């Protein structure tokens, strides 16, 4: 029987077939690209971690350098108890790998609202944060015979998320380096948290005063002076600077539990 190509049934059937074919093609392309996307994201993350300990890398060699410098990937709970460690090469598809913990996703889903609701009460905030089902990755690195511990962190700036890495010296008291980034902060203002002049201020700062945890505060530009526990914020970027300060305090307060255990051992 001849097909009536002039009828509406043919037109709708043909359109439906094209939708199916196009959808299937896009799905195959997406599937093919997903592994590349994951690799690119992993490479960028490795570069940022390495940057916090002043190790330069590019996407073409990030994995090689990372796997040689990062000797142990550690996963902690909120009490500082080690859940597991890994020291094989990173596999971006292995969800058991501490490297693959999505700290930005955890912050958005479980922490950000707590920060907003308790931003003026640090003890209550830390208590509520520690109650969340969140795991915390930590990276033990070795460079030129020295050991460093890199802590990932996420917070909120003026327009969106800010994040970064703080590298601690082997004494687990002194900051060795820092690397920050953002999604939508204002160019020339809050966006400058990723610039060298801001990041390098953290080198040599202490997160303890007289044995008590105090973090490193980001204060009003020009007010840090010679303080061991503060850096100058971004001029005109007060809200972003405050967000970075909150991020550092809250995150390192969680890792402080692990740091104390390590120093006592």
More confident residue, 199 or 40: 199
Mean pLDDT of 80-88: 96
Distance CA 251, CA 230 (A): 16
| pLDDT tens-digit readout, 114-171 | 999 998 899 999 999 999 999 999 999 999 999 999 999 999 988 889 999 999 999 9
> If we measure between CA atoms, which residue out of 184, 163, 187, 251 comes closest to residue 215?
251
pLDDT higher than 70, residue 11: no
Distance CA 49, CA 163 (A): 12
Query: 264: which residues sit within 8 A by CB, 6+ positions away?
Result: none
Q: Are 90 and 139 in contact (CB under 8 A)?
A: no
| pLDDT tens-digit readout, 12-63 | 656 666 767 665 555 554 545 456 778 888 999 999 999 999 999 998 999 9
Query: 11: which residues sit within 8 A by CB, 6+ positions away?
Result: none
Provide φ and ψ at 57, rounded to 5°.
-155, 165
Distance CA 47, CA 80 (A): 26
pLDDT band at 107 (very low <50, low <70, confident <90, very high): very high
Mean pLDDT of 252-259: 96
Bridge pairing between strands 217-219 and 230-232: parallel
pLDDT higher than 60, residue 8: yes
- Residue 136: exposed, middle, or buried by beta-carbon count in 10 A (0-12, 13-18, 19+)? buried
* Side-chain-facing half-sphere of 102: CA atoms under 13 Å: 11
Single pTM value for the model: 0.85
């Amino acid at each position: 029987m001849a097909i009536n190509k002039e009828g509406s049934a043919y037109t709708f059937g043909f359109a439906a077939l094209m939708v199916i074919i196009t959808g299937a093609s896009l799905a195959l392309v997406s599937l093919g690209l997903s592994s590349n996307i994951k690799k690119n994201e992993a490479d960028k993350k490795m570069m940022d971690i390495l940057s916090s300990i002043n190790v330069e890398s590019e996407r073409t060699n990030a994995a090689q350098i990372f796997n040689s410098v990062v000797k142990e990937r550690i996963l902690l709970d909120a009490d500082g108890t080690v859940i597991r460690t890994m020291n094989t090469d990173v596999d971006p598809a292995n969800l058991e790998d501490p490297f693959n913990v999505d700290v930005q996703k955890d912050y958005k889903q479980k922490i950000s609202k707590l920060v907003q609701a308790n931003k003026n009460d640090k003890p209550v905030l830390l208590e509520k944060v520690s109650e969340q089902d969140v795991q915390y990755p930590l990276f033990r690195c070795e460079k030129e015979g020295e050991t460093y511990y890199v802590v990932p962190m996420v917070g909120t700036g003026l327009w969106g998320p800010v994040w970064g890495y703080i590298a601690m010296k082997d004494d687990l008291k002194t900051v060795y380096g820092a690397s920050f980034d953002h999604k939508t902060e204002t160019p020339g203002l809050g966006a400058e948290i990723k610039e060298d002049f801001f990041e390098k201020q953290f080198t040599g700062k202490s997160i303890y005063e007289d044995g008590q945890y105090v973090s490193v505060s980001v204060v009003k530009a020009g007010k840090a002076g010679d303080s061991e526990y503060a850096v100058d914020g971004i001029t005109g970027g007060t809200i972003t600077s405050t967000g970075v300060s909150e991020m550092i305090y809250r995150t390192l307060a969680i890792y402080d539990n692990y740091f104390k255990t390590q120093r006592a051992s």
